[in-house]
Amino acid sequence: MTRISKTPAERKNEILDAAMELFLTKGYQNTSVSDIVQQINVAQGLFYYYFKSKDEVFRAVLERLTDEFAAKLIAIIQDGSLTFKSRLEKISEVSNNVLPMSDSAFIEESHQAEFMDMHTRLSLHVARALIEPIANLLEEMNGRKIICIKDPQMTSAFLVFGIFGLIHGEDDHIHNRDYLKPDILLDLISRLLGVSPEVLSNI
């Protein structure tokens, strides 16, 4: 049988795909490196060529999920076919369904003490990724005379990290997702921008 040759990038992604599937279904603790390589029928040595340990591939999976999550949020923010309130509703929906298996062992383990630093760092990565697209939206609203703010970039950062603080600030292990409800977000943002929720809602 002819062996299929794959590029390093393809092989690394294949390992990540297998690891993600197993972490989501079995959890981190119940998944071994042997499980991952058996999933894609490669030698264990190949795994260690790309990743030093199971912990490293776990972190790589978290980083990939974080990038995908940020990309979904940015796509919603930049979708000009949606009203402002519709964007908030979609953001809330996506944020409450980060993974297809949100109650999986994987999610529980990613919030355990040994992974909390990584989890918080990745959450900050998402927050930072949102500042520029939100600033661009605010700049557009400025241009249309809907709002009048001096510094869209600073306002965007204040908004993003303010919401981040509300969600994460009460307890590092239990995120308060109530602050992601569309009506609460709409009220907070309208107050910051100096327009009524009714006006902001239908923009």
Instruction: Please compute the mean of the pLDDT values over residues 133-149 and round it to a whole number.
Output: 95
DSSP-based three-state secondary structure for 171: coil
- CA nearest neighbour of 166 among 180, 152, 183, 186: 180
* Cβ-based neighbour number of residue 196 at 10 Å: 10
Which residues contact residue 202 at a Cβ distance below 8 angstroms, ignoring those fewer than 6 apart?
A: 83, 84, 85
Three-class SS of 60-72: HHHHHHHHHHHHH
Q: For residue range 39-76, list pLDDT tens digits in order.
A: 999 999 999 999 999 999 988 988 888 899 999 999 99
- Using an 8 Å Cβ cutoff, are 116 and 173 in contact? yes
- φ/ψ (deg, to 5) at 148: -140, 90
Task: Write down all domains in the chain, each with its CATH number in brackets.
Answer: 54-201 (1.10.357)
The pLDDT, as a whole number, for residue 62 is: 85
The pLDDT, as a whole number, for residue 120 is: 75
Of 36-45, 161-170, 183-192, 193-202, minimum mean pLDDT range: 161-170
The pLDDT, as a whole number, for residue 98 is: 63
The pLDDT, as a whole number, for residue 102 is: 47
Q: Is the pTM of this model over 0.95?
A: no
